[in-house]
């Protein structure tokens, strides 16, 4: 069970005061991380298998309607060879992530999983391939997949519908998450911080939802506008909306907008929420995400010092990394990459943490 359960009103109160609370919450979160993980950080090799996507999420750079991006998909051999390389570097989890690309058919993905698991029986396979039927999720589980990442994105139906086209349904997403859990996947969910139209109340609803779902993994990261999406100029729009003359300036619907005018705020709020989630879920696998590291130069380190215990370096082929273009400036040549593991290790050691090479890092405490 979660360590601590918060009511909606508590969450709203806490998030509203994140600036004054964030240091003490980070301290508490670090103590919990230390008790449960002994300051160990799990690494996962992220392989971005396809940038084709049938979805049209309004915030996402690889949305179907973005015709101004070069698409790619990896071959099975390329995926296997990235695992091969990752294994030699000490990775024991491979995350196959991609847009919703049906060329990665049920059978094809099942075969890839089977290959990876027979070649590397001591490794975990995590999938992050979006919404599919129960039958498909079952096939992939039976083929050896261990974990599945599928962010719910927004628990509030109105916010979900402002972020997605009408054919994408919140109920479908929530049902998929229930299905994944019932099939025995270690399941991950999460959301963006500072997304368009998000408010403190809606963030509270996201956390309430996670308290119910009890996911083994929780991924959150700051929203970063992408210039080939409908939210390209969201930052500007919202600076306009929150200026002195705006009639909405003090309405509760605008609280988050008012406090999130800069990318620094979004990074700080993300870190605060990581701490809060660590306090609620002492054993959860919580990454310091690439988006956090893209927005702030110290993002990854700050995420860890806020209670995160996972880093997901990029194991994709160098040629395709820039094309997996979810948001502006996505970090693809920094310490995020698998090639820079030694520097990443030094960076973690300097702040008193150690990378747990050669460990699968499963969720330890069954709910």
CB nearest ligand 5AD: which residue? 327
Shortest Cβ distance from residue 131 to ligand 5AD (Å)?
Answer: 11
Binding characters for ligand 5AD, 281-300, by CB under 6 A (x = yes):
----------x---------
Which residues inside 87-106 make contact with ligand 5AD, applying CB under 6 A? none
Is beta strand 147-149 parallel, antiparallel or unpaired with respect to 124-128?
parallel
Distance CA 218, CA 200 (A): 19
Q: In this structure, are residues 140 and 127 in contact, taking their beta carbons and an 8 Å threshold?
A: yes
In sequence order, what are the residues at sequence separation of 6 or more whose Cβ sits closer than 8 angstroms to the Cβ of residue 260?
Answer: 194, 266, 269
In the DSSP assignment, the letter for residue 137 is: H
Which range binds ligand 5AD by CB under 6 A, 15-23, 105-113, 139-147, 222-230?
A: 222-230
- Residue 197 binds to ligand 5AD (criterion: CB under 6 A): no
Q: Single out the residue of 92, 141, 147, 226 in contact with ligand 5AD (rule: CB under 6 A).
A: 226
- Residue 326 binds to ligand 5AD (criterion: CB under 6 A): yes
Shortest Cβ distance from residue 265 to ligand 5AD (Å)?
Answer: 15
Which residues inside 15-54 make contact with ligand 5AD, applying CB under 6 A? none
Torsion, Cα 282 286 292 297, to 10 degrees, reads: 80
Shortest Cβ distance from residue 59 to ligand 5AD (Å)?
Answer: 4
Distance CA 316, CA 45 (A): 8
Q: Single out the residue of 132, 151, 152, 164 in contact with ligand 5AD (rule: CB under 6 A).
A: 151
Number of residues that bind ligand 5AD (CB under 6 A): 12
Q: Single out the residue of 60, 124, 277, 315 in contact with ligand 5AD (rule: CB under 6 A).
A: 60
- Positive or negative CA dihedral for 215, 2, 206, 225? negative
Number of alpha helices (DSSP H) and beta strands (DSSP E) in the chain? 15, 9
Which range binds ligand 5AD by CB under 6 A, 138-146, 164-172, 177-185, 220-228?
A: 220-228
Tell how far CA 172 is from the center of its chain.
19
Distance CA 362, CA 125 (A): 11
Which range binds ligand 5AD by CB under 6 A, 23-31, 207-215, 219-227, 343-351?
A: 219-227
Angle at 33 between CA 309 and CA 176, to 5 degrees: 50
**What does the H/E/C string look like for 164-217?**
CCCCCCHHHHHHHHHHHHHCCCEEEEEEEECCCCCCHHHHHHHHHHHHHHCCCE
The crossing angle, in degrees rounded to 10, of helices 134-142 and 106-119 is 20
- Residue 148 binds to ligand 5AD (criterion: CB under 6 A): no
Tell how far CA 151 is from the center of its chain.
7
- Measured from the CB atom, the residue of 151 and 181 that comes closer to ligand 5AD is 151
Which range binds ligand 5AD by CB under 6 A, 216-224, 252-260, 303-311, 337-345?
A: 216-224
- Measured from the CB atom, the residue of 59 and 140 that comes closer to ligand 5AD is 59
Q: Single out the residue of 32, 37, 170, 224 in contact with ligand 5AD (rule: CB under 6 A).
A: 224
- Residue 221 binds to ligand 5AD (criterion: CB under 6 A): yes
- Measured from the CB atom, the residue of 13 and 328 that comes closer to ligand 5AD is 328
Distance CA 33, CA 193 (A): 22
Which residues inside 176-195 make contact with ligand 5AD, applying CB under 6 A? 192
- Measured from the CB atom, the residue of 101 and 345 that comes closer to ligand 5AD is 101
- Residue 170 binds to ligand 5AD (criterion: CB under 6 A): no
Binding region for ligand 5AD (CB under 6 A): 59-60, 151, 153, 192, 221, 223-224, 226, 291, 326-327
């Amino acid at each position: 069970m979660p360590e601590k359960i918060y009511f909606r009103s508590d969450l709203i109160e806490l998030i509203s005061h994140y600036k004054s609370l964030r240091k003490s919450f980070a301290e508490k979160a670090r103590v919990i991380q230390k008790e449960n993980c002994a300051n160990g950080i799990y690494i996962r090799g992220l392989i971005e298998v396809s940038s084709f996507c049938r979805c049209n999420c309004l915030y996402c750079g690889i949305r179907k309607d973005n015709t101004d991006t070069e698409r790619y998909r990896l071959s099975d051999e390329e995926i296997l060879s990235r695992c091969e390389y990752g294994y030699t570097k000490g990775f024991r989890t491979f995350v196959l992530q991609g847009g919703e690309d049906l060329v990665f058919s049920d059978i094809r993905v099942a075969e890839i999983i089977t290959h990876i698991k027979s070649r590397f029986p001591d490794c975990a396979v995590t999938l992050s391939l979006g919404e599919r039927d129960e039958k498909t999720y079952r096939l992939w589980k039976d083929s050896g997949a261990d974990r599945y990442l599928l962010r719910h994105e927004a628990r509030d139906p109105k916010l979900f519908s402002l972020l997605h086209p009408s054919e994408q349904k919140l109920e479908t997403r929530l049902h998929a998450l229930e299905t994944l859990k019932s099939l025995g996947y270690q399941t991950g969910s999460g959301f963006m911080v500072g997304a368009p139209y998000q408010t403190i109340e809606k963030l509270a609803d996201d956390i309430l939802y996670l308290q119910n779902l009890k996911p083994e993994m929780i991924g959150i990261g700051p929203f970063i506008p992408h210039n080939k999406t409908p939210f390209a100029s969201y930052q500007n729009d919202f600076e306009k909306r929150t200026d002195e003359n705006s009639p909405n300036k003090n309405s509760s619907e605008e609280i988050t907008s008012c406090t999130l005018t800069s990318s620094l705020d979004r990074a700080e709020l993300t870190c605060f929420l990581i701490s809060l989630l660590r306090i609620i879920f002492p054993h959860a696998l919580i990454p310091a995400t690439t988006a956090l590291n893209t927005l702030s130069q110290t993002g990854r380190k700050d995420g860890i010092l806020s209670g995160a215990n996972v880093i997901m370096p990029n194991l994709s082929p160098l040629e395709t990394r820039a094309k997996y273009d979810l948001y502006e400036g996505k970090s693809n040549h920094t310490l995020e990459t698998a090639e820079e593991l030694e520097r990443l290790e030094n960076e973690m050691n300097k702040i008193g943490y150690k990378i747990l090479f050669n460990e699968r890092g499963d969720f330890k405490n069954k709910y």
